[in-house]
Amino acid sequence: MTQPFINTPTDGIAIRARGVQKTYTGAGGSAPKHALKGVDLDIPTGTIFGLLGPNGAGKSTFINIMAGTVIKTDGSISVWGTDIDDNPRQARANIGIVPQELNIDAYFSPRQTLELQAGLFGVPKSERRSDEILEIVGLTEQAHTYARRLSGGMRRRLLVAKAMVHNPPILVLDEPTAGVDVALRQRLWDNIRALNEAGVTIVLTTHYLEEAEALCDQIAILNHGQMITNQPKDQLMAGASRKELRLSLKDGSMHAVPDSLAAIGAQLHEGGLAVRYDPSTMSAAEIIAAVSAAGLEISDVSTAEPDLEDVFLELTGG
């Protein structure tokens, strides 16, 4: 599938949000809930973009505003160059949403499901690509099988196929691999990469941080309705302040961390020690000196760079 999209935004921004707010009125006299607090966000065209955050951070609210199922309180959002307030029909046509829930009719086959969905979007029969889309997501052999007989991974792929029937330039995947096993997750990853290589901009929300680290070009993190970072993945990882020093000890075993080392954050690790530290306030040499001062002999030293989970926990205070 080659990139078929027209009217590509000249500024290279697939989704632009400015000052987006959403306040839910408190029920029964309770205080209002501020789900989004002035969110600014640019998602470049052609990227796999990770939108991360803890439960309740505002990710689903933001997605539902783009999808037209939630009305924002303030701010603006444009989807593929179309403002959702000025032309909501076109804005919705510019995006395909793959929800967390398996909203599939159990007694429709995948092909029937795609044909129905295409009809709902007003796609003429001569322009429908049901068989092509089923091939893209690896469901050609199951095209005429009742959806209730499909495995969980196949149903997830069918959700992706449903979101593609109107040929949107943007796909939003909301927890696309939730509840599937490792092998099926890898297959879905391959589908996501293939769609992106074909020119589709992917917005991914996930609680599997290794998934975001493996797939995403750029990552934004929401927390308590506020945008706390939005950077290319490599830049985000490089800017992580905490690193880890791992020390193997000559006696090969340790059952308790001396108080002097516990004070600098040392923990037991595979019979030795591991120390997470901020290079701006402490050096590796100082840690090694502290270990020697505690009367311990070091046999080997290695370092570990932080992964996305470390960065996420640091930024969200988890």
Domain boundary among 186, 207, 238: 238
Residue type, 163: A
Q: Give the CATH number, domain containing residue 298.
A: 3.30.70
Q: Pick the closest to residue 23 from 31, 11, 32 (CA basis).
A: 32
Q: Are residues 282 and 197 in the same domain?
A: no
Question: Residues 107, 63, 311, CA angle at the centre, nearest 5°?
Answer: 115
Domain boundary among 180, 211, 238: 238
Q: How many domains does the chain have?
A: 2
Q: Pick the closest to residue 170 from 14, 65, 50 (CA basis).
A: 14
Evaluate if residue 2 carries a pLDDT over 50: no
Residue 290's SS3 state is helix
Q: Are residues 224 and 249 in the same domain?
A: no
Assess if residue 135 is contained within a domain: yes
Q: Are residues 140 and 29 in the same domain?
A: yes
pTM, two decimals, is 0.76
Q: Give the CATH number, domain containing residue 184.
A: 3.40.50.300
**Dist. CA 138–CA 156, nearest whole Å:** 11
Q: Which residues span the domain enclosing 148?
A: 13-238
Q: Pick the closest to residue 203 from 76, 41, 3 (CA basis).
A: 41
pLDDT confidence tier of residue 115, bands split at 50, 70 and 90: very high
Whether 107 and 147 have beta carbons less than 8 Å apart is answered as yes
Assess if residue 2 is contained within a domain: no
Q: How far is CA 67 from CA 72, 89, 128, 172, in A?
A: 11, 10, 22, 10
pLDDT digits (tens, 9 = 90+) for 201-228: 999 998 888 888 899 999 999 998 999 9
pLDDT digits (tens, 9 = 90+) for 24-62: 887 766 788 899 999 999 999 999 999 998 888 899 999
**Dist. CA 19–CA 135, nearest whole Å:** 40
Sheet bearing 298-304, strands edge to edge: 266-269, 272-277, 243-249, 298-304
Assess if residue 6 is contained within a domain: no
Assess if residue 3 is contained within a domain: no
Q: Are residues 213 and 106 in the same domain?
A: yes
**Dist. CA 103–CA 141, nearest whole Å:** 21
